[in-house]
A and B are shown apart, each in its own frame.
Chain A
Amino acid sequence: MTAPLLQVDDLHVRFPISGGGLLGRGRRMLHAVNGISFSLAKGECLSIVGESGCGKSTTALSILGLQEPTEGMIRYRGLPLAGPGAPGRMQRAKAVQMVFQDPYASLNPRQSVRSSLAAPLRLHGFTAGSEIDGRIEVMLKNVGLTPEHANRYPHEFSGGQRQRIGIARALILEPEIVVLDEPVSALDVSIRAQIINLLLDLQEKLGLSYLMISHDLSVVEHMSDRVLVMYFGQIVEEGGWREIFEAPAHPYTRRLIAAIPDPEKALNTAELQDCVSDVPQFAGRSFISDGSTAPDVFTAPAPSELVEIGASHKVRLASA
């Protein structure tokens, strides 16, 4: 077996909360991410789902180098991507890129499409104007735009087109991993399908690996190969999309799936929410939390471990 493209080991991120005593004594730490480990294979789409504050965005920012991890290791093809010995922004840029949620805030209003795509190429050593133009043209075609769009400014585009430009910018340096941060949740419903289709086409065509951050479980089911469910800084369940959606084990996963406002389900079941009853038991061990009450984010979580309950299907249980 080859080494995974991306390997995250026991990632912790803690933020100091201001308002402590003198000299920082009694300063409280916010535990945003508490020991996340996972790997991403070439060509795979791995989704991290969870609600706001669960640490999914912090995890993504750590991988992108925008947030320094407190502890833990992030490796890209076996080489460290964060912490000591990590490469600079330049090398990291060719490994990981990001597609942002809000297509209106993610493009510089004062840069034309051409200049936001050409500047990174120039920065990474492309000097020939014809080659830069050629790459921009190919990339715009890849994302479903035309070369004529290059001379326009962001405000001349619709939300869907802006998101295509954002995707083009993320792919222009040909990274292997693309972090998708809620890539369609800010878009109109009819545009979402186009962007989802485009992302899946590009993944196949360019052999991309996606790490998708989302709270929209129907999109996650549609696009992912594997799914991580995060709850207050920890992975509570992990598995292939089939396991997660057909046989969810953790009460929180069940709660999330039950909460999706899906037309079919809404019309066929009387109750809005399926009860989180008949949760299976695993070797007589209990769940740390069922996701109904929020744990204290200022203390480290109680000891627990991810237990394998099926082929590549793990769920977090209290330590035996």
Chain B
Amino acid sequence: MTAPLLDIRSLHLGVALGRSAHHPLLKGVSFQIMPGEAYGLVGESGSGKSVTSLAVMGLLKRPLAVSSGEILFKGQNLLTLPKREMRRLRGNRIAMIFQEPMTALNPLSTVGRQIAEMFVLHQDKSWNEAQKLAIDALASVRVPNPDRRAKNYPHQMSGGLRQRVMIAMALACNPDLLIADEPTTALDVTVQAEVLRLIKELCAERGTAVLFISHDLGVIASICQRVGVMYAGCLVEENETRALFDTPRHDYTKGLLGALPRLGSRSQHGRQRLVDIDSIIADRSKLTETRFIAPRGIEGSQP
């Protein structure tokens, strides 16, 4: 059996409040991502899914701090890695795309230059060479007229194009892991569909593993092979995507799935009342007491 690419072991993380007080945000989260696998973390605001991704990237800022646990990337604990080494990994072996590309791109520099910078920084290319690679990178994310677009500034592009530029930048150095934090939430549905397809195809082509974070179960289902459901800082259920949607076992997962209006269900069954999650869960504070983590490769087949 192959070793996992990313192995998060019992990660505890919180906000430091003063000297001794500590408000926990993650209460022992563990999951693994295999090389080339697309893993989805789904949860609502405040569930801890975004903070998990920041911890992997080593981008936690005070007062946020990891209190215990390990984040192993290719067997190496990222939490004990010197800052310099971590910087070398970031953008190179682990890349990230965000919800709002406008805030992640430098408004004063052309997108071509910003992509080229990745090659100069991580692959010691000359600027000339890097510029050419940047145009290729834009072409690979299917930006029309890449040589002309490379000269554009971020504000001259639509949200969908900017997100493509972000993807081009993230994948420039062929990272082993791509972290995508709600990358399509700010986009229109048709653009979202294109961007999702792009991420899915490019990562499959290059064998890049994906940690995909979203509140949208539909988006997660369309891109991930396995899904972890987060609630209040805990991973309450984890399974292969198909199995999770077909036979959710945790009350919270059942509640989430029932709360969504499903396309086509009204024509088949008529209008049914949506499940009010609070009516099937008597006490939300007890939700994290039970966890259903399916062992890998036993339930369901490959989707």
Chains A and B directly touch (beta carbon < 8 Å): yes
Q: Please report A residues at the B interface, Cβ cutoff 8 Å.
A: 51-52, 188-190, 192-194, 196-197, 215, 217-219, 221-223, 241-242, 245-246, 255-267, 272-273, 291
A157, B186: Cα distance in complex, Å: 25
Contact with B221, one of A189, A217, A246, A261 (Cβ below 8 angstroms): A261
Interface residues of B in 252-296 (CB under 8 A from A): 255-264, 266-267, 271, 273-278
A74, B262: Cα distance in complex, Å: 34
Confirm or deny: B44 has a beta carbon within 8 angstroms of a beta carbon on chain A.
yes
Are A261 and B190 in contact, CB atoms less than 8 angstroms apart? no
- Residues of A near B197 (CB, < 8 A) are 272-273
Contact with A189, one of B256, B271, B273 (Cβ below 8 angstroms): B256
A223, B259: Cα distance in complex, Å: 14
Most chain A beta-carbon contacts within 10 A, residue among B241, B245, B257, B277: B277
- Residues of A near B217 (CB, < 8 A) are 189, 263
A137, B211: Cα distance in complex, Å: 47
A278, B55: Cα distance in complex, Å: 48
A-B contact list, 5 entries, CB within 8 Å: A51-B188, A245-B267, A261-B193, A261-B196, A272-B196
In the complex, what residue of chain B is closest to A222 when comparing beta carbons? Answer: B261
Known: A256-B189, A273-B194. 12 other contacts (CB 8 A): A51-B188, A51-B189, A188-B44, A197-B276, A217-B263, A218-B260, A218-B261, A221-B261, A222-B271, A259-B190, A262-B263, A263-B245
Q: Please report B residues at the A interface, Cβ cutoff 8 Å.
A: 44-45, 188-194, 196-197, 200, 215-219, 221-222, 241-242, 245, 255-264, 266-267, 271, 273-278, 303
Are B193 and A193 in contact, CB atoms less than 8 angstroms apart? no
* Majority DSSP secondary structure for residues of B touching A: helix
A242, B188: Cα distance in complex, Å: 23
Task: Report the 6 A-B pairs with minimum CB-CB distance, sorted nearest first.
Answer: A261-B218, A193-B259, A266-B222, A222-B261, A193-B274, A259-B193
Most chain A beta-carbon contacts within 10 A, residue among B189, B216, B218, B222: B189
Q: A189-B259, A272-B193 are in contact. Are A263 and B218 (CB under 8 A)?
A: yes
A80, B152: Cα distance in complex, Å: 47
Are B277 and A264 in contact, CB atoms less than 8 angstroms apart? no
In the complex, what residue of chain A is closest to B46 when comparing beta carbons? Answer: A188
Are A266 and B259 in contact, CB atoms less than 8 angstroms apart? no
CB distance from B224 to the nearest CB of A (A): 10
In the complex, the number of residue pairs spanning A and B with C-beta atoms less than 8 Å apart equals 120
Are B303 and A267 in contact, CB atoms less than 8 angstroms apart? yes
Are A261 and B192 in contact, CB atoms less than 8 angstroms apart? yes
CB distance from A215 to the nearest CB of B (A): 6
CB distance from A194 to the nearest CB of B (A): 5
CB distance from B241 to the nearest CB of A (A): 7
Are B260 and A266 in contact, CB atoms less than 8 angstroms apart? no
In the complex, what residue of chain B is closest to A255 when comparing beta carbons? Answer: B190
CB distance from B279 to the nearest CB of A (A): 9
Most chain A beta-carbon contacts within 10 A, residue among B188, B215, B216, B275: B188
Most chain B beta-carbon contacts within 10 A, residue among A193, A257, A258, A267: A193
Are B274 and A221 in contact, CB atoms less than 8 angstroms apart? no
In the complex, what residue of chain B is closest to A272 when comparing beta carbons? Answer: B197
Contact with A193, one of B188, B190, B266, B277 (Cβ below 8 angstroms): B277
Are A241 and B266 in contact, CB atoms less than 8 angstroms apart? yes
- Residues of A near B257 (CB, < 8 A) are 263
CB distance from B182 to the nearest CB of A (A): 13
- Residues of A near B278 (CB, < 8 A) are 190, 194
A194, B258: Cα distance in complex, Å: 11
- Residues of B near A190 (CB, < 8 A) are 44, 255-256, 259, 277-278
CB distance from B68 to the nearest CB of A (A): 28
A194, B275: Cα distance in complex, Å: 8
CB distance from B40 to the nearest CB of A (A): 11
A273, B221: Cα distance in complex, Å: 13
Q: A188-B45, A217-B263, A258-B193 are in contact. Are A222 and B218 (CB under 8 A)?
A: no
In the complex, what residue of chain A is closest to B42 when comparing beta carbons? Answer: A189
CB distance from B136 to the nearest CB of A (A): 24
A263, B218: Cα distance in complex, Å: 4
CB distance from B299 to the nearest CB of A (A): 14
In the complex, what residue of chain A is closest to B303 when comparing beta carbons? Answer: A267
Are A265 and B263 in contact, CB atoms less than 8 angstroms apart? yes
- Residues of B near A262 (CB, < 8 A) are 218, 221, 262-264
In the complex, what residue of chain A is closest to B188 when comparing beta carbons? Answer: A51
Are A259 and B263 in contact, CB atoms less than 8 angstroms apart? no
A190, B44: Cα distance in complex, Å: 8
- Residues of A near B262 (CB, < 8 A) are 218, 262-264
Are A222 and B303 in contact, CB atoms less than 8 angstroms apart? no
In the complex, what residue of chain A is closest to B284 when comparing beta carbons? Answer: A190
- Residues of B near A246 (CB, < 8 A) are 267
- Residues of A near B264 (CB, < 8 A) are 221, 245, 262, 264
Q: A194-B278, A261-B219 are in contact. Are A222 and B266 (CB under 8 A)?
A: yes
A264, B264: Cα distance in complex, Å: 10
A24, B263: Cα distance in complex, Å: 48
Are A219 and B261 in contact, CB atoms less than 8 angstroms apart? yes
Contact with B189, one of A194, A221, A241, A260 (Cβ below 8 angstroms): A260
CB distance from B302 to the nearest CB of A (A): 11
- Residues of A near B273 (CB, < 8 A) are 197
- Residues of A near B222 (CB, < 8 A) are 261, 263, 266, 272
A193, B44: Cα distance in complex, Å: 14
CB distance from A248 to the nearest CB of B (A): 12
A48, B219: Cα distance in complex, Å: 23
